[in-house]
Amino acid sequence: MKRKSIILAVAGVLACSALSAQEKMSKHEVSAWGAGGLSTLNYSPEVGDSKKGGGGPFGIGYNYHLSTQWSIGSGVELSFYNAKTEIDNLSDAYAANDGQYDFEFRTVVSNYEEKQKATFLNIPLTVKYQTMGKYKFYASGGIKLGIPISSKYEIEKSTLKNTGYYPQWNIELTNQEFMGFGSFTRKDIKDDLDLKFSCMLTVEAGMKWNLQKSFSLYSGIFFDYGLNNITKYNGKHLVAYNTDNPEQFRMNGALLSEITSGINSVKLVDKVVPMVLGLKIQIAYRFH
């Protein structure tokens, strides 16, 4: 009987201790973060090369602690993406009309450099795990939903050789600049880049340090990768013949254009996804 009483007393003390610890656990955590590293629009063009750029996000967030080790969180962040297209030799040919006659517009594009910049408002939805102790390891994963806020492209430079082939007379015009045929240089062309919502997989891992009673510092690495194509295909050519003003042909940007191969047209860039790999610093405040 005495032993049973001792066991019950010990169990009661442990239960009270556990309950007290649970009551003292800070369930709420707000934070602010900044990150930097590789932050790009990831794609592989049919012709030419793509160059990845730098950038990163900054944002604020909220985590709700289910226990001392598990939590769920969300927030909002602005993320900046940069990329570049370089093309040395692209040939395209398609049917056009000069206002009177049908012909085949032919163009060769070289020394082409185009930058793309995009800003997304991302909403992360994540689950986080952290170890116990003074110095904690943490890991989190989930998804990010991205809303395009701003997206633009800039053609820094390009060299074009345009000709017009008229099959009814079997002639190819090469130097009639007033008709849009000849050698041209185009640079500093800027326009909007129409992008769609994004859905990204996100993972993160690092260390957590308790600075004071209520403040913590997180430092780690993270990786975001898009799960869907964010471009809106418009069926336009990189160099579009302008019937009304042939000398002022339109340059449509690499990510949304097509090229003709034989009798078929293909996208110059088939799929574009956001991708980020970088370092992240986060300051957090805990409260009950």
Q: Please give the full DSSP string across 106-155, using - where no structure is assigned.
A: EEEEEEEEEEEEEEEEEEEEEEEEE-SSSEEEEEEEEEEEEEEEEEEEEE
Parent domain of 219 = 26-287
- 182-186/102-130 β-pairing: unpaired
Mean pLDDT of 128-152: 94
% of the chain residues with pLDDT over 90:
76
Domain assignment present for residue 11? The answer is no
Tell me phi and psi for residue 44, to 5 degrees. -130, 105
Residue 108, token pair as written in the block: 């060769």
% of the chain residues with pLDDT over 70:
90
Residue 2: pLDDT band (50, 70, 90) is: very low
Domain assignment present for residue 19? The answer is no
Domain at 148, CATH number:
2.40.160.20
- Among the residues of the chain, which ranges form H helices? 2-24
Domain assignment present for residue 32? The answer is yes
State which amino acid sits at residue 49.
D
Number of domains in the chain: 1
Domain assignment present for residue 127? The answer is yes
pLDDT (0 to 100) of residue 7: 42
Domain assignment present for residue 95? The answer is yes
Asked whether residue 5 carries a pLDDT value surpassing 80, the answer given is no
pLDDT (0 to 100) of residue 247: 86
Domain assignment present for residue 18? The answer is no
**Please, are residues 169 and 91 in contact by the beta-carbon 8 Å criterion?**
no
Domain assignment present for residue 256? The answer is yes
Domain assignment present for residue 201? The answer is yes
